[in-house]
Structure 1
Amino acid sequence: MAAERRVGTLVSSAAFAVRLAWLADRRALVHVVLVQVLLAGAMAGGLVLVQGALGSVLAHGPGAAGRSPGLVPAVVVLLVAGGAFGALRLSGAARMAVLTVKVDRLVAGMVLEAAVAAELPRFEEPDFHDRLQRAVFASRRQPAMAVVLLVTAFQAVLTVLAVGGAFVVMAWWLLPLVLVSAVPTVRAAGRERSAHHELHHGLSESRRLREYLERLLTGRGEAREIRALDLGEVLTGRWQAEYAREVRDTEALLTAHARRRMAAQAVGAVLTCLAVGCLWWAAGRRLLPLSVAGAAVAGVWLLSARLNTFAGMLSGIGENLLRLTDLRSFTAPAVARVVTPRQPQDPAAEFGTLSAERLCFGYPGADGPAVREVSLELRPGQVVALVGVNGSGKSTLANLLAGLYPPDSGRLLLGGTAVTDLAAHRERTAVVFQDFTRYRLAALDNIAFGRPHAAADLDRVHEAARQAGALDFLRGLPGGLLTPLGKEFTGGADLSGGQWQRLALARAFYRDAPLVILDEPTAALDAQAEDQLFSQLRQLFAGRTVVLISHRLRSVRQADRIYVLAGGRVVEEGSHGELLRAGAHYATLFRAQADAYQDADFS
């Protein structure tokens, strides 16, 4: 049963590779396959012509070429056909090269689409990252190589069939012996294929760790701290240790299977020699015409070579096709999904009260939930603050409210209706994360990405930049809004941490969504800029529902409602004044921060 499953997997993966080639460039695929069919037919026809030429020479004598009426035409046909099919082979190789490039592009796009389509909780799972790593590995020339190998194998099979057909006419009784000579090599290749695939799966996490270490050692952003801490030698040593493991396991596998393949080829060579010996014996006993025996020897050599080539390719083909199973399983949702143009949400559309009812959520592998039985209410136009110590669940709750994670239990209600389409809910939400992404692209992109499915509106970009206090420094860039934000690019410029944060805020203004979530939106700003932003918060986000997360409690004093979290639960709620009068968690946190400012030494 296991062998049958493996064969079924290989067949389905081969069909998947052919489908990819068909989708990438069907005309090129048809051209390449047709070339292989013609070349295989030419090889069989050439073998028949060789037999005829040998028969003519032997009948009239080597010195009587002029009296051999079939010899000269046969030689001319062979020469002309050789030239023509040489040109045909070059044509097929050129189309094959183009086809592989197109397959590479198609497959890389499929992996990216599947990764983007995965919901955020999947990125918390190690198994997902292993599957992603294997899919990325398989997408790098593997599908194109699979197509090349399948076409080469197809040519080898056609050649075997064509030459075998000619062989049947000449000495059919030798055909089984020649075919059996390839069996040991085929079996050895199958065992090696399975071993390679198991090794590949076992190294997934080690390869992910190596790639991360490579990013640390080569990244521009990480270079400063790595040198400050003198981490280069330590990280390089860990990279070397992880790579040494792969080298060691690969060397052991290849050494063991090389011996098996050499033994298998030796057995195949003995059987081929036995076939040639049988021809020699039959010709010596005049059981076969000498011309037939001579052509049959050429056929044995050609058939044996093709069979051994095909058998030797089986390990590479099988390993390649098994890796395609990783690609196929990971990209299946992207292949099946019908992509339709996304319609941007109307920011002016009615946005009612957003309520959370007993939300619970826990990260995979965590000891307990990060959010426990949280209920709250966000009314249109309100500024609601989430406060608490580190690890209290504020950012996780914000992610749930933004529709980035589906709750394990509980539900979100918008205007009294349960939110079931999280993608549509995210369209109505603008989020500024504490660890926002710094896009090393044009400054224009960094703002216009707020509404990526619509053409960039320059007037809105300028207005968003003005609201975020970014317009002045953007105008001072070498290329204005078209300046790449990274010194590693030609004409690029660097920004300070505060300038990057203003760009993230501009992105939120540009999105113009009815629900705005600000997670530590001023962490990189100075105190004066922070106070200015919070004092203008209601004006800047007028008519919007704003969720604000901040460790600096003086920034949340003007919020309409403050929710205090501890251990993933809401332990207090109310206005700033109400919570101070209650004298509990919030009051303790606020007074601790206030005392720190009062006790500071300004001398």
Structure 2
Amino acid sequence: MGADRKPGTTSTKSTTSTTSTTSTTGAGGIRGRLVDILRLGRLATALAWRASPKALLGTVLLLCAQAASTPVQLLLAREVVNAVARTTPAAHLGGPGSAVPLAGWIAAMAATLALGTLLEPFSRTCQSLVGDRLVGFVTGELVRAANRWQGLARFEDPDFADDLERVSSQAARSGLEVMAYGTRAVTTVATLVALCVPLVRLHVLVPVALVAACVPLLARQFDFQNTTGSRLYALTPQARTLRYSRDVMVSTAEAGDVRLFGLGGYFRRRYDEAFAGSVGDLDRLRWRLTPPMCLSAGLAGTAVGAVFGYATWQVATGRGSVGDLVLYGGTSAAVLSTVTSLGFYLGFLPMVFAFLPSLDRVLNAPPDLPEAPDPLPAPRPIRTGIVFEDVHFGYPGRDEPVLAGLSLHLAPGESCALVGPNGSGKTTIVKLLLRLYDPTAGRILLDGRDLRDYDLADLRRELGVLFQDFVRYEFTAADNIGFGDLAALDQGGDRARLLAAAERAGAADLLERLPDGLDTEVGVRFGGRELSGGEWQKLALARAFARDCQVLVLDEPTASLDTRTEYGIFERFAQLTKGRTAVLVSHRFSTVRMADRIVVLAAGRVIEDGTHAELMAAEGEYARMYRTQAAQYLDDFEDLEVPSGERR
């Protein structure tokens, strides 16, 4: 289990890293490792059993039958040869089967061979059935585990990303592999014992000497598999680099940039370098381990040859039958083959176990956001508003905090715009408000109670959001809008609500142009209609409006929209946000001036707060940014007639 600890990671801040270290060293020494192995073995076995108990049981029984067939075939081969030899008077006769006719031994041997051949495809089919069901079952468990993580911290933790990579690439089939290779190892040991029994008749020391000569090969086989498996585990970050470089080259989303800027060669080189580095490392390791394994194999092969020579001498001097030569020669060769297989199976198990801790950590990761023992329902309606009270926050792995003592009050029904330079904390405020993270210090209050006191799912039902990096769901237009409130889709499809949301977001004309309206498949992944960036954003904005919520969060809501569409939304801004608390994040000052209040941020604190007119009159940071950074937007905005009641 030495590979359980993730090599190459240095973070001590993440839960994942701490869990990993504890799992490998907490119990202490060999006893602790055995405890871990047993625990992880139970996990793998339980997953495989829950995925497909009948197919798993069938696989184990077939593997046992296959293991037993080897010594039976050798014993029958001996009797067949003896029966043939009895037809030759010069042959040395004898043996327990002399009363059985030759035809009987031939029939038994043929039946055994046929049965062994028949069992193999059944065994492989059962393993395939278990494997398919196990991958599907574990994937479902992963989805259920991911649904327990209500925040974003785990997805942005590189240690946990390594765990997810291992789970997706290796650990999903680990339950089957533990059962298959564990069963093969146990049955192989039983086969080895069964093979040694007839060798005792040749001489009591023969099986001892033969097994002793094969032990170094067993150890080298185990070391080869265990060491290369541990190295594969350690190469998980490189595997993520390989996957990312490959995905960029074949992804639809990046296809335009890759071709426009000629990045294909660059990413191909990065892929080749990462591949060459990881494979070259493995190649050097394998070549270093191969010579000792060859020497051990030579020793074992010499021992098999010596046993065969001794058996030949015994038969030639009249102390055995011709069938004994077949039995002892075949048995000694089978012992070598069995020991080699046992080394492979035992060596493969640590590689499987190396990936199981990642699966264990992912499946059993606790909720990442604390839940109140008796959570409160979200207030309906919101009465006193939202208060950020001396809030501090820093992202994991970053030394400098993003928010440093921020205090802010959002009144019910008020629209508030957040402005400031990049890194000032605008989007972080949004993420904390949506409780995708919790503050590292301070509190966020809703109607006087900490957000952590509320039922999280119920709280989020009162929050509608459009992120700057909104998701493009390549399903139907109805799905893209209805995902804002699944009730609009689940209850037979409330198309009137979907159309109303589209109208409010300025997407009604888009739906009219689509060949099947709301039922049009959008996105090219599944052969649907491709949309422009602005059209995708209209659907995303409609998704935010589809939710009947009290708080509306808009992060760069018009970044991809043309000026006319943007103005249409501004013209209806008061209507769209009526009765809701609205939080806007925008670099377009034409958007910002629509809000009731404008909050200016810098270094994680509020430095100015007021209406557009008040801040312009104050001649502070907002006025400077408005004049210098927003001139291009102001020119377009002043050309349009803005309702006087919405100018501030």
Give TM class, smaller chain: 0.7 to 0.9
Give the structure 1 partner of residue 447 of structure 2. 415
Given candidates 343, 350, 367, the residue that maps to 1:318 is 350
CA distance in 1, matches of 2:179, 2:518: 44
Work out which of the residue numbers 429, 438, 444 in structure 1 matches 2:472: 438
Is residue 2:432 matched to residue 1:395? no
State which of 496, 503, 513 in structure 2 corresponds to 1:476: 513
Contact 2:463 2:552 in 1 (8 A): yes
Encode CA deviations 1:511-568: one digit per residue, 9 max, x unaligned.
2222211111011122232232133233223322211112223323343333211111
Gaps spanning 5+ residues in structure 2: where?
1-27, 369-375, 640-648
Identity %: 31
Could you tell me how far apart the structure 2 residues matched to 1:72 and 1:63 are?
21
Compute the displacement of 1:280 (Å): 3.9
Shift of 1:249: 0.9
2:253 matches 1:221: yes
Structure 1 SS opposite 2:469 = coil
Q: Which amino acid aligns with 2:463?
A: T
Moved more, 585-594 or 21-30: 585-594
Amino acid at match of 1:25: S
**Do the aligned residues in 2 keep the contact of 1:404 with 1:422 (CA within 8 Å)?**
no
Residues 27/513 of structure 1: CA separation in 2 closer, same or farther (3 Å cut)? same
Kindly indicate whether residue 302 of structure 2 is the aligned counterpart of residue 270 of structure 1: yes
Deviations 1:331-365 (A, max 9, x none): 3338x99xxxxxxx999944342222111111233
1:211 corresponds to: 243
**Of residues 35, 38, 47 in structure 2, which corresponds to 1:20?**
47
For residue 160 of structure 1, report the CA deviation from its aligned partner.
Answer: 2.4
- What does residue 162 of structure 2 align with? 130
Aligned equivalents of 1:147, 1:138: Cα separation in 2: 15
Distance 1:444 1:599, change over 3 A: closer
Q: How does the TM-score come out when normalised to structure 2? A: 0.82
Change (3 A) 1:178 1:527: same
Secondary structure of the corresponding residue to residue 413 of structure 1 = strand
Q: Who is 1:496 aligned against?
A: 532
The Cα offsets for residues 242-295 of structure 1, whole Å up to 9 and x where unpaired, read as: 222112212111211122221221121122223334434555566666655542
Partner of 1:80: 111
Give me the CA root mean square deviation.
3.4
Deviation at 1:575, TM superposition (A): 3.0
Paired position in structure 1 for 2:65: 38
Question: In structure 1, the residue corresponding to 2:465 is in which secondary structure?
Answer: strand
Structure 1 residues 597, 72: closer, same or farther in 2, change over 3 A? closer
TM-score, normalised by the number of residues in structure 1? 0.87
Q: Is the 8 A contact 2:178 2:352 kept in 1?
A: yes
Q: Which residue of 2 aligns with 1:588?
A: 624
How is 1:110-259 mapped onto 2 (pairs within 5 angstroms)? 110-115=141-146, 117-118=148-149, 119-139=151-171, 144-145=176-177, 147-165=179-197, 167=199, 172-259=204-291
Q: Which residue number corresponds to residue 342 of structure 1?
A: none
Q: Which of 544, 564, 567 is matched with 2:580 structurally?
A: 544
CA shift for structure 1 position 155: 4.2
What CA distance in whole angstroms lies between the structure 2 residues aligned with 1:507 and 1:422? 23
Alignment of 1:29-68 (within 5 A): 29-53=56-80, 61=88, 68=99
Q: Structure 1 CA distance, aligned partners of 2:520 and 2:87? A: 83
Q: Distance in 1 between matches of 2:210 and 2:47?
A: 35
User: Is 1:354–1:412's contact at 8 Å kept on the other side of the alignment?
Assistant: yes
Contact kept, 8 Å, 1:35 with 1:88, in 2: the verdict is: yes
Shift of 1:86: 3.3
What is the aligned counterpart of 1:461 among 498, 501, 504? 498
Q: 2 CA distance for matches of 1:460 and 1:597? A: 33
User: For structure 1, which segment, 367-376 or 532-541, has the greater mean C-alpha deviation from structure 2 after superposition?
Assistant: 532-541
Contact 1:115 1:132 in 2 (8 A): no
1:574 to 610, 614, 632: 610
Residue identity in the other structure for 1:297: G
1:508 aligned residue:
544
Provide the secondary structure at the position in 1 that maps to 2:424. Answer: coil
Match of 2:561 among 525, 531, 536: 525
Farther off after superposition, 399-408 or 261-270: 261-270
Larger CA deviation: 164-173 vs 320-329: 164-173
The answer to whether the 8 A contact 1:563-1:573 is kept is yes
Unpaired segments ≥5 residues, structure 1: 338-344
TM-fit CA distance, 1:183: 1.4
CA distance in 2, matches of 1:539, 1:70: 100
Question: Which letter does structure 2 place at the counterpart of 1:501?
Answer: Q
* Contact 1:10–1:322, Cα closer than 8 Å, also in 2: no
**Amino acid corresponding to residue 93 of structure 1 in structure 2:** R
Count, aligned residues: 593
Compared CA separation, residues 96 and 195, structure 1 to 2 (3 A): closer
Shift of 1:22: 1.0
Tell me how far apart the structure 2 counterparts of residues 122 and 174 of structure 1 sit (CA, whole Å): 58
Secondary structure in 2 matching 1:120 = coil
Please say if residues 466 and 541 of structure 2, whose CA atoms lie closer than 8 Å, have aligned partners that are also in contact: yes
The structural deviation recorded for 1:143 is 5.3
Taking a change above 3 Å as real, the CA distance of residues 314 and 479 of structure 1, as seen in their structure-2 partners, is farther
SS of equivalent residue, structure 2 residue 361: helix
Q: Distance in 2 between matches of 1:595 and 1:498?
A: 22
Task: Note if 1:374 corresponds to 2:401.
Answer: no
Superposed counterparts of 1:286-305, under 5 Å:
291-292=323-324, 294-305=326-337
